[in-house]
Amino acid sequence: MPKYIFVTGGVVSSLGKGIASASIAKILEAKGLKVAIQKLDPYLNVDPGMMDPYQHGEIYVTDDGAETDLDLGHYERYTHSTYGRENSLTSGQVYHKVIMKERRGDYLGGTVQVVPHITDTIKDGIRDVSKGKRHDVVITEIGGTVGDIESLPFLEAIRQFRHEVGRENSLFIHLTLVPFIKAAGELKTKPTQHSVGTLREIGIQPDILLCRTEKKIGQSIKAKIALFCNVDIESVIEARDVSSIYEVPLAFKEQGIDKVICQKLRIEYKAGSLHTWKKDVVDIALRPRFSVKVAVVGKYTELQDAYKSIYESLRHGGIASDSQVIIKRINSEKLKTARSLHVLKGVAGILVPGGFGVKEIEGKLLAIQFAREKKIPFLGICLGMQCAVVEFARNVLNMKGANSTEFNKKTPFPVISLLEEQEKTKIPGDAMRRGAYPCEIKKDTKAWKAYKTEQISERHRHRYEFNNTYREKFQKAGVKFSGVSPNGKLVEMIEIEDHPWFLACQFHPEFKSKPDRAHPLFREFIASALEYQKANFPKSALEPVATRPDSEEKIIIHE
CA distance 131 to 119: 19
Calculate the CA dihedral of residues 443, 445, 446, 448 and round it to 10 degrees.
-10
Residue closer to ligand GLN (CB basis): 2 or 354:
354
Residue closer to ligand GLN (CB basis): 329 or 462:
462
CA distance 352 to 384: 5
Cross-sheet strand order for the sheet of 88-90: 88-90, 35-41, 137-142, 3-9, 170-177, 208-213, 236-240
Cβ pair 451, 520 in contact under 8 A: yes
Report the relative pairing of strands 208-213 and 236-240 from DSSP bridges.
parallel
Residue nearest to ligand GLN as judged by C-beta position: 354
Residue closer to ligand GLN (CB basis): 264 or 461:
461
Q: Among 382, 387, 439, 505, which one carries the catalytic annotation?
A: 382
Residue closer to ligand GLN (CB basis): 375 or 471:
471
Residue closer to ligand GLN (CB basis): 298 or 515:
298
CB of residue 416 to ligand GLN, shortest distance in Å: 7
CB of residue 335 to ligand GLN, shortest distance in Å: 18
Q: Among 67, 86, 510, 531, which one carries the catalytic annotation?
A: 510
What's the number of CA atoms in the CB half-sphere (13 Å) around residue 436? 13
Q: How many Cβ atoms are within 10 Å of 464's Cβ, its own excluded?
A: 21
Which element (helix H / strand E) includes 328?
Answer: strand 323-331
- Longest CA pairwise span in the chain (Å): 76
Q: How many Cβ atoms are within 10 Å of 494's Cβ, its own excluded?
A: 26
What's the number of CA atoms in the CB half-sphere (13 Å) around residue 314? 32
CB of residue 386 to ligand GLN, shortest distance in Å: 6
Q: Which amino acid is at 69?
A: D
DSSP-derived letter for residue 107 is T
Q: What 3-state DSSP class applies to 364? A: helix
Q: How many Cβ atoms are within 10 Å of 268's Cβ, its own excluded?
A: 6
Residue closer to ligand GLN (CB basis): 31 or 461:
461
To the query of whether residue 510 is one of the catalytic residues in this protein, the response is yes
Residue closer to ligand GLN (CB basis): 312 or 510:
510
To the query of whether residue 150 is one of the catalytic residues in this protein, the response is no
Residues at the interface with ligand GLN (CB under 6 A) = 354-356, 382-383, 386, 406, 461-464
Q: How many Cβ atoms are within 10 Å of 307's Cβ, its own excluded?
A: 27
Q: What 3-state DSSP class applies to 466? A: strand
Q: Among 439, 508, 519, 524, which one carries the catalytic annotation?
A: 508
CB of residue 357 to ligand GLN, shortest distance in Å: 8
CA distance 520 to 455: 13
CB of residue 403 to ligand GLN, shortest distance in Å: 12
CB of residue 341 to ligand GLN, shortest distance in Å: 22
CB of residue 2 to ligand GLN, shortest distance in Å: 35
Q: What 3-state DSSP class applies to 171? A: strand
- Active site residue ranges: 382, 508, 510
